[in-house]
Amino acid sequence: MDLLGRLFRRKKDSQFLYTEALECLLQGETNDAFTKLRELVREDTENVQAYLKLGDIFRERSQTDQAIKIHQSLTFRRRLSSAVKREIYASLARDYSASGRYDRSEEHANRVLKLDKKNRWALEFLIDISEKQKKWEKASKYLRRLEKVTREEKSKRHAFYILMQGRDREEDGLFQEAKGFYNKAISADDSFADAYLYLGNLAEDEGNLDEAVAQWTTFAEKSAGGGRQIYGRLEKTLFELGRFGETEEFYRKLSEKDSSNMDAFSGLINVLAAKGEFDEAIAIVDDLTNRNGQSVRIRLARLKLELRKRQEDELSNEVDEIVSLMHGGR
């Protein structure tokens, strides 16, 4: 067979092997893909895509040094298109990230951006590794660049990065600086609930309980989960301030805002029971039963109220223990 025929056949066989390897990868048969790719690069050293995939498999096997070696060797090849260069640098960025060498990882992701300033993958990748390193300012910088590409504003995410800078300052004992970051986070997005929680915590530590109550209340109102983790602390603080009567208003407001917030209803029912307003508390429980069907938690709440109304405190406490054991389950 002449030289041209042998070269044509080798190219045809290489393409067939590569297609088979890709099919194996799509089916999750990594070992078979690896074997075919190894065979392919022995036969066709010019197949850059095969080397790329082979290096990626080494990385997935946690053999990052081998992955870096293969991918790095590709950077020395001549006449590579910009698209192929981007793929190589992206693979190297992933390799170095997997090995924990974030500085080199960032370097190669930025090389992708040099070739394509609007490369969404590179920007999202750089944001991710910045978060992993807790480099919040840098994450925010890359996020601003991503926003220009996607034309989507991410104010809540910026607020999170600012908040995390505050958390770092608080851990270092720099409480005033932390407070400044929490307020800045609110300025970035006033719907970002967590900033109010941490401002309330700082106010409590300073002995400013009125301020703590105000911040925690805002946190609960703005939190997607209703700020349930703050209910007990808020009740205790309002009691210490002699403002326990405000607890009823707090729970009413939350339960009206979110009819599925059973913790708010539970808090309201307990407050009414503490005031001796058992009939209103029972009426709320009955309404919840009508709206939510047969719930063990709600039925136990009604039983508890009836027992307390009859001053059967010992049995009422037993119900409390059952509810505690259930962890709020139905």
What pLDDT does residue 140 have? 97
What pLDDT does residue 8 have? 42
Of the two residues 229 and 43, the one the predictor is more confident about is 229
Q: For 67-104, what is each residue's pLDDT tens digit?
A: 999 999 999 999 999 999 999 999 999 999 999 999 99
Of the two residues 289 and 165, the one the predictor is more confident about is 165
Q: For 153-180, what is each residue's pLDDT tens digit?
A: 999 999 999 999 999 999 999 999 999 9
Full-model pTM: 0.81
Split at pLDDT 50, 70, 90, the class of 39 is: confident
pLDDT at 198 over 90: yes
Q: For 221-230, what is each residue's pLDDT tens digit?
A: 999 877 899 9
Task: State the chain's mean pLDDT as an integer.
Answer: 86
Place of tokens 């220009």: 148
Which residues, other chains included, contact 280 with Cβ-Cβ below 8 Å and sequence gap of 6+? 272
Q: For 313-326, what is each residue's pLDDT tens digit?
A: 555 566 566 566 55
Which three-class secondary structure state does DSSP give residue 100? coil
Q: What is the DSSP letter of 229?
A: G
